[in-house]
């Protein structure tokens, strides 16, 4: 047993002995090239490595930027959605039988009455006769009117002293908002229908529209505002 093992060892060493000079001479030749050759090889390797790293780095940066911009975009979306929806929420609900119209609640009367009685009816409901801020509000209020033929008193009458149409809050009418058909004369009050605005004797019986501002809901207000 021992002899066999020794023999095997010997043959291996004998076989590999003469061969070892020829095969190992090939890689040795390459490695033994001129020094600048080796140096160039190393430099090339370093260059390739740097290039690969740069490409990886660039890819990561681009991916990061894309992700970041999409996150920013979606947060802008959320903000936009928020600002679209907060226009009416945050304000109190309108009482039963009142309708919400932007930042107001409005009530269309069932019965008819003189302008002065309409005015006092609204004040008993902690409201006033309708004031119309702009064309948009006029358009929206008209959308709520079902019957074309009905006139509703609003909070506008012809002021004796100034000889001008005056809102009940004390401001004068801007005729760009409302053109009133009929005479500009004493004891006339304004009514609106789905299609027009009229000057009528204040002692005419009409339906009317009351308004009240919707209050901000206190427990929903942001703490830092
Ligand atoms: C914002 O609202 C629009 C529709 O109004 C919807 O398509 C979009 O997904 C919403 N965005 C977010 C981030 O909620
Ligand atoms: C409204 O005017 C009529 C007469 O024009 C009068 O009888 C009535 O008392 C007035 N109503 C109010 C609330 O002032
Ligand atoms: C009175 O109401 C009119 C119509 O809504 C509005 O244009 C005006 O600014 C208001 N004036 C005051 C002092 O609130």
List pLDDT tens digits, range 88-118: 567 888 999 999 999 999 999 999 999 999 9
Rounded to the nearest integer, the mean pLDDT of the chain is 82
The residue nearest atom 14 of ligand 2, judged by CA position, is 116
The whole-angstrom separation of Cα 89 and Cα 81 is 13
More confident residue, 69 or 134: 134
135 C-beta closer than 6 A to ligand 3: no
Which residue among 159, 165, 169, 174 is best mutated to probe the pocket of ligand 3, counting the most ligand atoms within 8 A of its Cβ?
169
Residues 6+ apart with CB under 8 A from 174: none
| Cα-to-centroid distance, 214 and ligand 3 (Å) | 16
Nearest to 129 by CA among 106, 148, 159, 111: 106
DSSP labels for the chain? -HHHHHHHHHHHHHHHHHHTTTTTHHHHHHHTS-HHHHHHHHHHHHHHHHHHHHHHHHHHHHHHHHHHHHHHHHHHHHHHHHHHHTTSTTBPPPPTT-EEETTEEEEE-SS-B-HHHHHHHHHHTT-EE----SHHHHHHHHHT---TT--EEEEEEEETTTTEEEETTSPBP-TTT-PEES---TTEEEEE-SS-EEEEETTS-BEEEEEEEPPBPGGGS-TT-
114 C-beta closer than 6 A to ligand 2: yes
The whole-angstrom separation of Cα 122 and Cα 215 is 17
**Which atom of ligand 2 is nearest to 120's Cα?**
13
Nearest to 214 by CA among 83, 95, 82: 95
Within 10 angstroms of residue 90's Cβ, the number of other Cβ atoms is 13
pLDDT at site 191: 98
120 C-beta closer than 6 A to ligand 2: yes
- In the block, residue with structure tokens 């000057």: 199
Residue 67 has pLDDT above 70, yes or no: yes
Residue 77 has pLDDT above 80, yes or no: no
pLDDT at site 150: 96
| Cα-to-centroid distance, 77 and ligand 1 (Å) | 6
203 C-beta closer than 6 A to ligand 2: yes
Q: How far is CA 140 from the centre of its chain?
A: 22
pLDDT at site 171: 97
Residue 75 has pLDDT above 50, yes or no: yes
159 C-beta closer than 6 A to ligand 2: no
Which listed ligand is nearest to 128 at the C-alpha?
Answer: 3
| Cα-to-centroid distance, 46 and ligand 3 (Å) | 77
């Amino acid at each position: 047993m021992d002899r066999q093992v020794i023999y095997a060892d010997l043959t291996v060493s004998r076989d590999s002995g003469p061969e070892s000079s020829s095969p190992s001479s090939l890689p040795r030749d390459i490695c033994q090239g001129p020094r600048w050759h080796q140096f160039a090889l190393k430099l090339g390797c370093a260059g390739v490595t740097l290039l690969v790293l740069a490409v990886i780095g660039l890819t990561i940066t681009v991916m990061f930027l894309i992700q970041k911009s999409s996150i920013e975009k979606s947060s802008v979306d959320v903000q936009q959605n928020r600002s679209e929806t907060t226009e009416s929420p945050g304000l109190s609900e309108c009482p039963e039988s009142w309708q919400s119209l932007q930042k107001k609640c409005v009530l269309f009367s069932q019965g008819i009455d003189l302008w002065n009685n309409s005015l006092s009816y609204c004040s008993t409901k902690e409201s006033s006769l309708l004031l119309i801020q702009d064309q948009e509000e006029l358009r929206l209020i008209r959308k709520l009117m079902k019957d074309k033929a009905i006139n509703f008193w609003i909070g506008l009458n012809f002021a004796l002293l100034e000889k001008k149409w005056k809102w009940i809050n004390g401001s004068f009418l801007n005729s760009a908002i409302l053109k009133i058909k009929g005479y500009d004369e004493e004891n006339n009050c304004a009514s609106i229908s789905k299609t027009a605005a009229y000057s009528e004797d204040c002692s005419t019986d009409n339906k009317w529209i009351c308004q009240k501002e919707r209050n901000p809901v206190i427990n929903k207000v942001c703490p830092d505002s």
